[in-house]
Amino acid sequence: MKTLFKTWAASLLAMGVATSALAQSTPVKGAGNVTNTKVNGQQINITTQNAFAEVAVYSPSVIRVRMDKQPLAADFSFAVITKPGSAKANISQDDNQVTISTDSLRTVINKKPFAVTFYTTDGQIINQDEKGLGTSWVNESVTVYKHMQDGEHFVGLGEKTGNLDRKGSGYTNWNSDTFGYRTDQDPIYSTIPFYIGVHHNLNYGIFFDNTYQSDFNFGASNNRFSSFGARGGEMNYYFIYHKNVADIITSYTALTGRMKMPPLWSLGYQQNRYSYYPETEVFRIAQTLREKKIPADGITLDIHYMDKYKVFTWDKTRFPDPAKMTAKLKDMGLKLTLIVDPGVKAEKGYPVYESGLKSDIFIKYPDSTNYTGEVWPGWCHFPDFTAAAGRNWWQTEIKKYADVGVSGIWNDMNEISTWGQKMPDNVIFDYEGKKASHMQAHNVYGLEMARASFEGYRSALGNKRPFILTRSGYSGLQRYTAIWTGDNRAEDDHMLLGVRLLSSLGLSGVPFTGMDIGGFTGNPTVGLYTRWMQIGAFSPYFRNHTGVNTKSAEPWAFGEEALEITRNYINLRYRLLPFLYSSFYEATQNGKPIVRSMAINYTHDPEVYNAKFQNQYEFGNGFLIAPFISTDTYGTVYLPEGNWYNLYSDEMMAGRQQKIMPVSVQKLPVFVKESSIIPMQSLIQSTAEKPTDTLTVHIYKGNRNNTFVYYEDDGESYNYETGSFYKRTITYNAAKKQIVFAKAEGSQSSKFKHITLQMHGFANGTKLSMDGKAANVKTQFVSFLTPVSSFDPQGTTNSAEGHDVKTMTINNNSNTFTLSY
């Protein structure tokens, strides 16, 4: 057969049939050669033999590439909210190529055939189309094939299971309800088609803005290319180049938006369950939290608060007076969050259903009848959140919850999830007036539901910030909502997977993330639960949650030792709120996440991509967390470049080394980067309680320069948008041996009258001066954890580690002051 094919091919060549003609006879259609170009400002419009393209400079570091088989449609995106900025771009061309040059990169478009290569200004290849493949179509599916560089790593792509490094794997984006998903299952709940490639000391980002089902291949089943494509729509991607990964994330979030400041209470500990009911059970949980001195700020109600699972209703037997309940919880320092599902039961006489029919806001079949799918309440219609009318209707209905004092909205089942999980392709969505089938609208439904909830609740609460949570979403979701990783399992590998999911979401521009601490399905061991709660204290959204028909999972349900350990870490979380809140402020400014994969700051260190260390992450700008499983007695930590302090003992260790260390379930391994600046406060039981008037700033001696922006506002309103905040830049200058507190910015005064500086790693002979005058320094014993009884048969006790530090206290005024050492 092979001989016959060779003979046939040779005969065709002998007859003058070119191999390119053979390729064109296949079902795969490439773009072909460029036939016409037109420069229009900082973009170039291109016609090829088989397609139409547009390459535009969005900024000196961001190039957009669009291509379709037909003339390009009017520009539209649910994700991208910025227009191209003015950038100095030089566009030149000859018979063979078009060159677009900015001060950051050079883009070369080959004409024969169409192919794109991105270079640094000094000529290094950052990314290029694979020769001979480029961009092509198979029926309505479009894919671009990229040459895979030697040793290339791929990170990001949002909520994707598997390894931190995506090399060798393929992924599909189709938002899916995946109860109890496997640690290698794909897809799961959300779609963020943005990834970062790393090779040869270079790094770049690619955001593929196409809402159809999309597929990414990073060398799965081939050793030639990486690729991305979709089952319909345009080839439409943004190429981002910076020398630092953090700047790539900043540029990506400049395109897709950044989060607003969250309400302070949403950063506190949240106690959840599927489900807490009736009202007396809610109060029992609240009272026990307070009696056992477990700091907490929120309780969440799952679907059993509703009347027969119908959205925007209450079961009046279980919850006879919601307004009275939320008021009582508020008096206890606790906010209430409610779950909402998009399905509206098709039931005559149900006011929400009747209102939806009257407003004509449900998604429809092509014959204009409302689509009906089955979910918790039974057969339901679904609001069209891709239409302004649908979002406005939702906002009117959701106000009912604000009116009774509910503070947070949890959007669930918004993939869309229905029993059977097979919504027909021919369901029609408005898609902002452009009309789209389910195939195009599916992946943005969750994003637009979260948008409707955010905009509606922001309006309903007036000047107070809402807390919005979602299970599903698309790029840009960070503008409206936090996200959690869905219905995970109470298993060690799921705990570690959750860490990687948060790291990957952070790499993909989403800072406010969380997982069901302890696992949603199944029952964790005492050790697993304890370790997971420790990790939760170093997560952006700290939510303990378990499913129906599981054992109780409150901190007191696992014995006295587990209670002591978990309370220790919840306490530490609350003391760290000034650091955490300032980290969220940073996220609003530049998109940097709270959970930071080591790939952000140590991008070209090969150990970062070692599966042995892929679960380690930085928490804000200062901490390194090493999450071992509960049964480990020894573990190996990788410390990246620089010096690192053990949080509990202040032992300093050099970086770029693997360190074997004993592991105990009583302590999560946590390290502090040299030159770090960590502001902390006194312990409180909820954010409704005021801390003492002293802010403690921990400073760790080091050899690197560092800057930390300390930030306060009132924690609940949008007044910060008009200048009502307190912000202070604190700089550690290693060369000058100075720590400088810059003059405070903003119209708000700090809630702290005094600042206590606690100096870690400064030798006994170190002399400290404040603004040139000798400082009044004392020695103080510092311990971040209280002793925990081991409760073993021998009755031994594990004393919490601590250490002596140099301490000085000063008045907190708005002027600049300098500490020298």
Q: DSSP readout, 668-708?
A: --EEEETT-EEEE----SSTTS---SEEEEEEE--SS-EEE
Under 8 Å between Cβ of 318 and 279? yes
Annotated active-site residue 487? The verdict is yes
Residue of 289, 307, 308 lying closest to 298 (CA atoms): 289
Instruction: Please provide residue 53's backbone torsions phi and psi, each rounded to the nearest 5 degrees.
Output: -135, 160
The strand ranges marked E within 231-282 are 235-241, 270-271
How long, in residues, is the chain? 821
The catalytic residue among 54, 487, 586, 712 is 487
Annotated active-site residue 607? The verdict is no
Task: Give the dihedral sign, CA 298/665/486/614.
Answer: positive
Question: What is the dihedral angle through the alpha carbons of 379, 444, 487, 466, rounded to the nearest 10 degrees?
Answer: -100
The whole-angstrom distance between residue 460's C-alpha and the CA centroid of its chain comes to 26
Pairwise CA distance, residues 181 & 393, whole Å: 33
Under 8 Å between Cβ of 281 and 319? no
The catalytic residue among 412, 455, 516, 561 is 412
Under 8 Å between Cβ of 772 and 749? no
Pairwise CA distance, residues 533 & 539, whole Å: 10
What is the spatial order of strands in the sheet that 754-760 belongs to?
677-680, 694-700, 754-760, 803-811, 778-782
Question: Residue 660 CB: number of other CB atoms within 10 A?
Answer: 9
Instruction: Please provide residue 238's backbone torsions phi and psi, each rounded to the nearest 5 degrees.
Output: -110, 125
Under 8 Å between Cβ of 807 and 756? yes
Pairwise CA distance, residues 118 & 123, whole Å: 9
Pairwise CA distance, residues 601 & 604, whole Å: 9
Half-sphere exposure of 667 (CA within 13 A, CB side): 26
Residue of 121, 170, 135 lying closest to 65 (CA atoms): 135
Under 8 Å between Cβ of 464 and 260? no
Under 8 Å between Cβ of 482 and 614? no
Annotated active-site residue 103? The verdict is no
Task: Give the dihedral sign, CA 132/135/141/147.
Answer: positive
Residues 6+ apart with CB under 8 A from 764: none
Pairwise CA distance, residues 96 & 747, whole Å: 59
Half-sphere exposure of 71 (CA within 13 A, CB side): 1
The catalytic residue among 177, 247, 415, 448 is 415
Pairwise CA distance, residues 560 & 571, whole Å: 16
One-letter-per-residue 3-state SS of 175-195 = CCCCCCCCCCCCCCCECCCEE
Residue of 312, 336, 313 lying closest to 324 (CA atoms): 336
Residue of 297, 336, 333, 329 lying closest to 574 (CA atoms): 297
Residue of 64, 70, 73, 67 lying closest to 43 (CA atoms): 64
Residues 6+ apart with CB under 8 A from 182: 161
| The token pair that represents 160 in the structure block | 């994707």
Any idea which residues carry the catalytic annotation? Answer: 412, 415, 487
